Amino acid sequence: LVYLHDGSRVKVIRRDLKPSNILLEKDMNPKVCDFGLARIFERDNTKDVTRRVAETGYMAPEYAVLAHISTKSDAFSFGVIVLEIVAGRKNTTSSQGMMAEHLLSHVSRLAQVWESWTRGAVTDIVDPYMNNSCAENGVLKCIHIGLLCVQENPSDRPSMSDVILMLVGRSTTLPAPSRPAFLFSLDNENHVLPGCANELPECSTKCNSSFNKVTITELEPR
């Protein structure tokens, strides 16, 4: 991602970063793949006029609602993936459907992480299978960085270059994260991206919570 954003001849925004678009080599080195939705942008262009088809569990809110996109949109997706790895659970179980329902369905995971963070019990969200096989300080750093990446205001999110420095740096001083985007707190107090409250599309209460995308190929001999 750092190369796509800053190292290549043109700036490339991945847009659809999610676990299924990340391959692992035999040495467990990750490689981003499937660039069908990637876009090349001018340096001052942050508006995407094409149809938004990225998976909403990983889609930055400013892109999902206003079609505003930047390298910080990829940082948001990265943060969601980091928190998923630590928690051992997907951010959303929805696949296809009305956008508003997706935006409301995937916030519960971020709400759980944020609630645990604010009460000083962030280790509660760690995957139980990792408890005896990971360094607590490393896990806490990953959660901290993940929360920084999913902050509501894109300008508050770190660049991917900054994320690299945070991950490999020995310094334990990181900025305090602010409230995640699209956080609906456990007391049902709604918090939506500023200026977007009236722009969320309506959604029927009968929207399907999942969509079966499995296909079957029938083989017939010649």
**Encoded tokens for 167:** 């991950």
Q: Exposed e or buried b for every residue in 144-174, given b needs 16+ CB within 10 A?
A: bbbbbbbbbebeebbbbebbeebeeeeeeee
The DSSP letter of residue 98 is: -
The DSSP letter of residue 215 is: -
- Spatial CB neighbours of 169, under 8 Å, sequence gap ≥ 6: none
Task: Tell me how far apart the alpha carbons of residues 83 and 79 are, in angstroms, rounded to a whole number.
Answer: 6
What angle do the packed helices 107-118 and 136-149 form, to 10 degrees?
A: 120
16 is catalytic: yes
Q: What DSSP line would sit under 95-140, residue for residue?
A: -SS-HHHHHHHSHHHHHHHHHHHHTT-GGGGS-GGGTTTS-HHHHH
Catalytic residue among 6, 16, 48, 162: 16
Count CB neighbours of 117 within 10 A.
Answer: 20
Closest CA to 176 of 147, 216, 214: 147
Mind telling me the catalytic residues?
16
